[in-house]
A and B are shown apart, each in its own frame.
Chain A
Amino acid sequence: MNNESSTTATLRGNAGVAEVLGRSYAAGFVTDIEMTGLPPGLSEETVRQISAIKQEPAWMTEWRLGAYRHWLTMPKPDWAKLNIEPIDYQAISYYAAPKAGPKSLAEVDPALLETYEKLGIPLHERAALAGVAVDAVFDSVSVGTTFRKQLAEAGVLFCSMSEAIREYPELVRKYLGSVVPTGDNFFAALNSAVFSDGSFVFIPKGVRCPMELSTYFRINAQNTGQFERTLIVAEEGSHVSYLEGCTAPKRDENQLHAAVVELVALEKAQIKYSTVQNWYPGDENGVGGIYNFVTKRGDCRGDDSKISWTQVETGSAITWKYPSVVLRGDRSVGEFYSVALTHHFQQADTGTKMIHLGKHTKSKIVAKGISAGRSSNSYRGLVKMEKGADGARNYTQCDSLLIGKKCGAHTFPYMEVKNPTAIVEHEATTSKISDDQMFYCRSRGISEEDAVSMIVDGFCKQVFRELPMEFAVEAKKLLEVSLEGAVG
């Protein structure tokens, strides 16, 4: 993080601009590492092979096959405001892993460690200083999880999903697919069939997780899709904060990422889930980039529970993502804070769903969309007050900022209210950076780039405040880099 924060500092001065211009997508390098994997193609056999490689029990294989068969019957969703080139699901490799499988962190291939070092992810000795437990997922497999011992002492289970299926099958079996069923939607079904790895977190009753947990996803291999599956279960009265980051190399073809994240919060439990999504967005001509189709859903199963999503979305050629909360328990709370930035030819259709079932449930949505270049940025959200949601409340605020004449910013909020004691409020605005704001900054000697980045920073402040500190720094920097070339 050190050299990165200094970059942020120099950005403040005009000298930093030139540096930023040269940077564009810093995470775009390729790690040259020996890989093993499955050839491209998808069939029942592929699903069985993945399950076999991961030495899964029979019930898991059946679960995957059930999802696969269901997927075959499902139509591709076409309701989002996205132009998606047809995806050839047979051209994708569904499993890729570094050849030398690590036994422990000490044995991790140095090339891999270097990769994470370059990305600023503390996997090894630096981990102790950072104080964040990390699970790193490289293509299809988890390459290492730090701080296992300290976490185990607190009773927290934090490991890769493959490991969890082997070590804690009863927990996985109880919760996996209980929030996002295998047939939930097209991409969730695909994920259920072929997911390769991901993180598993279990916080037992009454435990406050002693440190921030984090997963870092990296796509490296060519022609692969990444399908990770994350499951977080917070038992009664527990508390956890989880961070997620992602990057991929620059490539000319589009790569598919279809993840599923399930959160379960039991009585009085709290889960905070933060994402900085920086998959490769494609170049300035719209060539390449990740297709990011993600299903994220939290279930406030117990009374007085709370789930909070915070996301900063700057990457991916296409983002299709709606982190949601089902507010089942009475007095449960759901939150969604989002900054989505699109530039060049990026397309984002993202938002949230707040499904109020319990009494006196509350939800808050703050979504900030920034569009530049020729990009398209849509907020799509649903707030649903079911019959039993007595006294439930929702407040939604969506703001869009347009930078340039060729981009689009859209807002599609759905409100469905069936309870006469519930209150739903929605507000949205769309504007551009005003000439007055620019003139004010310019007259004080602030360069155009810096002025834009200051104004954008202010526009997003409400969301950045919700991010853990290091992520907030990274997010801010990402916005600056992503907006490079957007003005003038």
Chain B
Amino acid sequence: MSQPAPLPLVESLLDAPLPVSGIAWLDAARQQNREAFAAGGLPDTRVEAWKYTALRALAQRRFAHGDAAAATRAVDTSTFALPGVEGPRLVFVNGVFRADLSAVDRLPAGLTLQPLSQALRGDAEPLRFVLARPALIGDVREAGDAFARVNAASAVDGVVLRVAANVKVAAPVQLVFVGAAAEVELAWHLRNVIELGEGAELSLVEQHVSGDGPAQLATLVSDIEVRGGARLHHTLLQSVAVGTNLIRRSSVRLHARAHAMLHVLELGGALVRHDLRAELIGDGARFDTRGVFMPHGRQHIDTQLAIRHQALNTASTSNWRGVANDRARGVFRGAIVVAPGADGSDASLSNKNLLLSPGAEIDTKPELEIYADEVKAAHGATVGQLDERSLFYLRSRGIPLAEARALLTAAFCRAVLDDLPNEALREHLSVMLVAQLPNA
């Protein structure tokens, strides 16, 4: 889908100097991804995965590359303080690691937590498999991977997190990605590599925050490997400012009997996109996702969830809620694939949505692709309003309409937090959800 005249966004991203690491394979991979992006360009809405997310407006902007002042920008740490989350912490500001804001001095044994830039200065070889993956380079005409290619070409930092086999990390690890207001419109990129060894356990909190100011474009690509029997609790809280465009791809691979549970709150941003892919490659693996997206104003929040069952007796459950208000648009795709031979797969997905305003829009697309017969697979999706009878019940007990609505909407969203194990965090997130509601 290459365009005749280069789009300002593409031009500005291609103008950025290609980072040089001195590691031959990494520099080659960056070069190849840069070329693939230059050849493939941006996806338009004819590309199925971008059908409901038009990049037209974003494509007309130019973003400066890198923030020279990132290491010294003042950041209010209270913007990412969370109750129940007081463990090791890694903070990045405008794509740059900030040791002064991070907490990595007393890491428990078996936990490696360091910025990618630092990891690459040591032994880069273990990262080669992930960072030089050829998949993105593939067919250059395929524009769907545009941002992942930009990220692979330009990201110089990110998180490297490893938990050694059979290590259970008690305190939750916090990853904070801050967009701090700069003088110009800024683009930055981060690459995260996370691995839980066999039998390891980790609770992870990923946060995206940003300040008001000139618009930003951030891309984040995360690879999460959960080895045999390991358990991951991952909470993702996105509450960036309305000027921040955030495009992420997270790929989770689950080995035999591994279990990952993910809770997602998508609350902020301008154009927000999350490609969340899970592959259940080991027998007995399990993946559970819970999420809520609440676009308001003119926000556009797009979640593309794709779960692939590739082994025997794997299970996945997904429960997502969307609430769109004002002139906002919520997009959800929930695809479940059961590969040939993945007998005993049990997959269910539900996406319920509320439309609160005549200017808002919800586009949802649950998908099932089933190639094995010993399976249970079901999905459901609804778009509608609050239940009139419930509203009537509350009003008949003297609760004003606006309050009754807020109450029911809050209950609708909070359902996805029910099984979040960290109680203090769960309460905090509930309060955040309620605060986001109209009439709150």
Contacts and interface: CB of A to CB of B under 8 A. Distances in A.
Interface of A: 79, 385, 387, 400, 402-432
A417 B377 contact: no
B209 to A, nearest CB: 30
Nearest to B355: A420
Interface in B332-372: 340-341, 353, 355-358, 360-372
A410 B379 CA distance: 12
Given A400-B370, A410-B369, A411-B368, A428 B380 contact: yes
B372 A405 contact: yes
A407 B371 CA distance: 6
B380 A426 contact: yes
**Do most interface residues of chain B lie in helix, strand or loop, or is the interface mixed?**
strand
Nearest to B358: A420
Contacts of A428: 366, 368, 378-380
A79 B356 CA distance: 33
A418 B362 CA distance: 7
A425 B357 contact: no
Report, nearest first, the 5 A-B pairs whose CB atoms are least far apart: A423-B384, A420-B355, A402-B373, A417-B383, A411-B368
B408 interface: no
Given A413-B366, A424-B384, A406 B340 contact: yes
A429 B378 contact: yes
Nearest to A372: B373
B48 A79 contact: yes
Interface in B28-52: 48, 52
B374 interface: yes
A396 B345 CA distance: 24
Nearest to A416: B363
Given A426-B380, A430-B376, A431-B375, 10 more contacts: A79-B48, A408-B370, A416-B361, A416-B363, A417-B353, A424-B382, A427-B380, A428-B378, A430-B377, A430-B378
B55 interface: no
A374 to B, nearest CB: 11
A423 B340 contact: no
Contacts of A387: 358
B365 A429 contact: no
B11 to A, nearest CB: 28
Nearest to B360: A420
Query: In this complex, which of A410, A415, A419 has the most chain B Cβ atoms within 10 angstroms of its Cβ?
Result: A415
Contacts of B340: 405-406
Contacts, number: 108
Nearest to A404: B373
Query: In this complex, which of A416, A423, A430, A432 has the most chain B Cβ atoms within 10 angstroms of its Cβ?
Result: A430
B368 A423 contact: no
A428 to B, nearest CB: 5
A408 to B, nearest CB: 5
Contacts of A432: 373-375
Contacts of B382: 423-426
Nearest to B338: A430
A415 B383 contact: yes
B381 interface: yes
A409 B367 CA distance: 11
B323 to A, nearest CB: 11
B385 interface: yes
Contacts of A405: 340-341, 372-373
A413 B384 contact: no
Contacts of B379: 411, 426-428
Contacts of B366: 411, 413, 426, 428
A418 B361 contact: yes
Given A405-B372, A420-B385, A432-B374, A415 B361 contact: no
Given A387-B358, A417-B361, A422 B373 contact: no
A80 B54 CA distance: 22
A432 B345 CA distance: 12
Contacts of B380: 425-428
Nearest to B354: A420
A77 to B, nearest CB: 11
Nearest to A79: B48
Given A415-B362, A419-B355, A431-B375, A400 B385 contact: no
B368 A430 contact: yes
Contacts of A430: 368, 370, 375-378
Contacts of A423: 382-385
B374 A410 contact: no
A413 B363 contact: no
Nearest to A426: B381
A408 B361 contact: no
A410 B367 contact: yes
Given A403-B373, A424-B383, A417 B367 contact: no
A26 B376 CA distance: 35
A408 B369 contact: yes
Contact of B371 (A408, A418, A427): A408
Query: In this complex, which of B368, B378, B380 has the most chain A Cβ atoms within 10 angstroms of its Cβ?
Result: B368
Contacts of B358: 387, 419-420
A412 B367 CA distance: 5
A429 B384 contact: no
A157 B111 CA distance: 81
Given A423-B383, A423-B384, A424-B384, A417 B370 contact: no
B158 to A, nearest CB: 34
Nearest to B361: A418
Nearest to B378: A429
Contact of B368 (A385, A400, A404, A407): A400
A422 B369 contact: no
Contacts of A406: 340
A162 to B, nearest CB: 38
A423 B369 CA distance: 26
Contacts of A411: 366-368, 379
Given A404-B373, A405-B372, A428-B379, A420 B364 contact: no
Nearest to B353: A417
A51 to B, nearest CB: 34
B370 to A, nearest CB: 5
A6 to B, nearest CB: 34
